[in-house]
Each structure stands twice: as structure tokens, then as C-alpha cells.
A and B are shown apart, each in its own frame.
Chain A
């Protein structure tokens, strides 16, 4: 791609590889958070401690659901 469109700096090989990797990993991390929240809901039900199952923000909406 870099050869075809050298004017697009965002598509230089090194940049594309690194940033893409971080982004993919952050998304994977977000997916794991979703799964963990599901487990937390079940855990809260099993223990009777409803506080444990509640998250202030939906997954993806909280400030710590970082996206690169």
C-alpha cells in the first residue's frame, strides 16, 4: 500500500503495523471485559451480593474502556 499511495502517511508500513496491533489488542481487551462482566453477574447472583454484578458504565462507555 505504501508503494501505491505514498502520499498517505498513515499507511506507511511501520505505522500501520504498530498502531493496528495496539488497536486490535485494545479491542480484544474490551471483549474480555464484556465476558468478565457476564461472569460477575452470575457471581453476584450466586453469592447474593448484587453490588458485585453492577458496573457504573456499560462496557465500551466507561473511561477505562480505552480504545487506541
Chain B
């Protein structure tokens, strides 16, 4: 190992030792906090981790002593027991002269390292970062579960770890920028921005809990580093004994923390309630819309079947006004009409059931928010969100069609067979048909007495029946014109034309019937 390399290695060791020392102190703080709060289980766990950390720290110090020839003191393995016994003096001496204690700034040694050494440095840094991240994760979990006094302490620990992560990343960003590794620079920059946001979130939590202000991490750190500006360290915050300064009594801290925790709990509850209320309003608005649309769907099905059933009933009405049918024919006609009506009613019930089934699937797509639902991958969530939007569009389109259909079904409309589906219209048609039938009973009797084949008679009855339809439709047309039951002038014109044509049709049919009767009589 060359002298330069040896020097670099020593400097890196000093840096690493400083970092491990910081972690060691934080663990000692954590143990002290557990001791103070009487958390035996927590203390046991921290003691175990602390022993491992001391071993790691001492190993680094041993390496440093070997390389530098100095005799830096190691940490006693009895330290955890001493802390548990009430000691707040951890007695961890500084090793060497770290360029930036606790890695508060990126390493000035970087400028003297060559590319290979920089890569080694990065590798080491990444490994160290992973360790801290694991620790941060554990502490964050503990912090989230803790209350009052313990929570404050754990927040401080989290801040320390988070700060360290930021500083390490800042350093790595500087190194990668120096190495001109654009891909990594981009990744670290993004990562660093996220970590700064995470740090500031913990600062907010601390401020809410303790009502004391802390310096936030500057969001411009990544840009500053890339611009070659000096890194501004984030001020450290410590719990108690590590800096040797006087601390508040446990009772004081506990009282402040408890009061703060209570206010936080109230604030959280209010916020949660407000959020919940907002969600309920949002959800209920959505549910209301969904319910409205779904009801319209069911209405369309119901009205559609009403339309169909009314047509069948009207056909049944009209079947009473038929010439040339005997009682048996009429009974059979009535039976078949009733059966068709019954089938339609049954189909209507089925249709409603299936429409509800369909709707429960379609509207579930809308009511299930992809943000809160479980999805295996982010890509799935994006896909689900896009499908949800698509479904919303389709359902809105269907809603528009439903409205149009309802305006037709609810209005006074006529089917293809020219049968009114409106009750009043049905009545008008029936009355007109009955009037025509009564008026033409003599003609029907004439046809019945004719010395003609039954086929000829049926054809004559057919023409008479056509007149029944025409006269009833004419009556309806005249009724609509009289009561102005049309939508526009175009429809009015069409109705007037129909009226004229229907009158002509009835006249022509009557002439035809009389001509055929005369022909048959003269034939005989």
C-alpha cells in the first residue's frame, strides 16, 4: 500500500469511525430512554444491538490503530450495563480528526482520490447507507408505536439517522458528479430529494409534539451540490447525555411530552374526523350519482317492458274488435294475448334482476378507488385507474341514452304496429274501434250471409278489420291534433298527412267491400 493510499485509508477509517460513533451514541441514548421510561423489553433489544455496535466500532478503531500506529481508546463492552445502572456518561473518545464530524459535510478527501478509489469509496458508502437505512426503518416503526416521552426521543433518533442518510447521499451525489456518472447522479438526486422531504416531515412531527422549532433541511441541497456550492450541514439535535450538557428533569420532559401528545392526539382526531367527513361527503356524492344512474338503468328496463306490455295489452284490446271471428277464435286470441303479456311480465322481473347484477359489476369499477385498493404492481394500479375512467365515460354515455329513452317511453308514443301505449290513447283507439265495429255490424252480417267461400269471406273480413285499425288510428291522430300532443310542426304536418291518408284508406276499403259484395251477389 502506497503512502497516499495508506493516508486515504486512514482518513476514510476516521470518517467511518465518526459515523459509527454517532450511531453508537444514538443507541446509548435509546437505551437511556428505555431505562428512564422503564421499557424493559425495549432496553433488552437495544442492549443486544448496542453490543453488536460496540464490537463493530471497536473493530474499526483496531484497524485505525494498526494503520496509524496510534492507540485510540476502544469502547468498553460494559457500557450497556453502565447505562442501565444510571450512567449518562458514555465516554466515547474521538478518534483522529474527522474532516466533518458525524459526516455533516461531504468528505474533502474526495478531491484527492482517483477514479478507482472514488468507486471504492462509493461502494463503502452505499453499504454504510444500507445499515443506517435499516436502523432508520426500525426506529421509525418504534416511533410510530410509541407515545409521549418515548416518542420524542425516538423522533430525535429518527432525525439523526435521516440526517445521516441525507449527508451520505449528498456526498455520493458529489462523488458521482465528479465521476460524471449521469445515470447515478439522476438516481441519487431523486433519492436525495425524497430523503430531504422525509427529514422535513419528521421535523414537522417533532415541532408538533414538542412545540419547539427545528431547522429544516434545505430542499435545494441536490441542486447546490451539482452547482458546486458548499454543502450546508443540517444542525444536529441530541437527546441528553451525549453532549454532556444539562438536561431537563425526566418529569419536566415527560409532562411537556404528555401534554403535547394529548394535543397531538386531539389534533389528529379532529383531522381524522375532518378527513373522514370529507371522504364521507365525497363518497356519498359518488354513491348518490351511482345510485341515480343505476336507478335510471332500472327505469329504462321497466319502461321498456311497460312499453312492450302496453303494446300487447293494446293488441289484446283490439282483438275484441275483429270481424269474422267466432267465440272460439276470440277465446284463443285472448288466451294467447294473455300468455304473451304474462311472459313479458316474467321477462321484466328477470331483466331487472340481471340489470342489477350488471350494474353491481359496472358501478363497482367506479366506487372502488384505485388509490386505496390493493394492487400487486404500480402498473396494475395505473391500468385500473385508466379502466375506471373508461368505464365512467361509457356509463355516462349510457346515462344520456337512458334519458332519451325515458323521454320516449314516458311520453305518449306509438309502437310499430300503430298501437298507442298511452292509456288515454289506448282508450281513444278502443272507443273508435268499438264505434266502427258497432256501425258496421250490418255489413258484417251481409258478408256472413253471402253465398261465397269462407276464404273470400275472410278476405272481406280482413278489409273490414283493416278499416277497424285505420279508423282507430284516425281517431287517435285527430285526438293528438286536437289536444296538440305532438312535439313540433313537422310532426303536426305528418299527423295531418296521416289523417288525410287514413280517411282515404277507409273510403277506399269501404268502396272495395261494397264492390266485392255486389260482384258476389251478381255472380249468383
Q: CA–CA, A43 to B402, complex, Å? A: 24
- Name B's interface SS: helix
Chain A residues in 8 Å Cβ range of B402: 29
A64 and B466 contact, CB distance less than 8 A: no
A7 and B416 contact, CB distance less than 8 A: no
Q: Which of B354, B384, B415 contacts A64 (CB 8 A)?
A: B354
B413 and A32 contact, CB distance less than 8 A: no
Q: CA–CA, A22 to B365, complex, Å? A: 28
8 Å CB contacts to B: which residues of A9-28? 9-10, 12-15, 17-19, 21-22, 25-26, 28
Chain A residues in 8 Å Cβ range of B373: 47
8 Å CB contacts to A: which residues of B303-340? 304-305, 307-308
B contact residues, range: 35 or more
Chain B residues in 8 Å Cβ range of A12: 418, 473, 477, 494, 498, 501-502
Closest Cβ–Cβ distance, residue B8 to chain A (whole Å): 53
Q: Is B391 among interface residues, defined by CB-CB distance under 8 A?
A: yes
Chain A residues in 8 Å Cβ range of B494: 2, 12-14, 17
Closest Cβ–Cβ distance, residue B467 to chain A (whole Å): 10
Q: CA–CA, A42 to B375, complex, Å? A: 14
Q: CA–CA, A32 to B395, complex, Å? A: 8
Flag B108-143 by CB within 8 Å of A: 1 or 0 each: 000000000000000000000000000000000000
Q: Is B361 among interface residues, defined by CB-CB distance under 8 A?
A: yes
Q: A-B contact count, CB below 8 Å?
A: 141
Chain B residues in 8 Å Cβ range of A26: 304, 405
A46 and B414 contact, CB distance less than 8 A: no
Known: A10-B416, A25-B401, A36-B394. A17 touches B491 (CB 8 A): yes
Q: Is A58 among interface residues, defined by CB-CB distance under 8 A?
A: no
B397 and A32 contact, CB distance less than 8 A: yes
8 Å CB contacts to B: which residues of A21-67? 21-22, 25-26, 28-29, 32-33, 35-36, 39-40, 42-43, 46-48, 52, 55-57, 62-64, 66
Q: Which of A25, A46, A52, A64 contacts B364 (CB 8 A)?
A: A52
Q: CA–CA, A41 to B484, complex, Å? A: 49
A43 and B387 contact, CB distance less than 8 A: yes
Closest Cβ–Cβ distance, residue B397 to chain A (whole Å): 6
Q: CA–CA, A45 to B477, complex, Å? A: 55
Chain A residues in 8 Å Cβ range of B409: 22
B497 and A15 contact, CB distance less than 8 A: no
Flag B395-437 by CB within 8 Å of A: 1 or 0 each: 1011001101100110001111110000000000000000000
Q: Is B82 among interface residues, defined by CB-CB distance under 8 A?
A: no
Q: CA–CA, A17 to B490, complex, Å? A: 11
Nearest CB to that of A45 among chain B residues? B383
Q: CA–CA, A3 to B494, complex, Å? A: 10
B470 and A64 contact, CB distance less than 8 A: no
Closest Cβ–Cβ distance, residue B382 to chain A (whole Å): 9
A22 and B307 contact, CB distance less than 8 A: yes
B394 and A32 contact, CB distance less than 8 A: yes
Chain A residues in 8 Å Cβ range of B304: 26, 66, 68
Q: Which of A9, A40, A42 has the most CB of B within 10 A?
A: A9
Nearest CB to that of B476 among chain A residues? A14
8 Å CB contacts to A: which residues of B443-471? 466, 469-470
A14 and B486 contact, CB distance less than 8 A: yes
Chain A residues in 8 Å Cβ range of B211: none
A22 and B376 contact, CB distance less than 8 A: no
B384 and A62 contact, CB distance less than 8 A: no
Chain B residues in 8 Å Cβ range of A57: 354
Give 7 CB contacts A-B under 8 Å: A6-B504, A10-B418, A13-B494, A15-B418, A21-B408, A25-B401, A29-B405
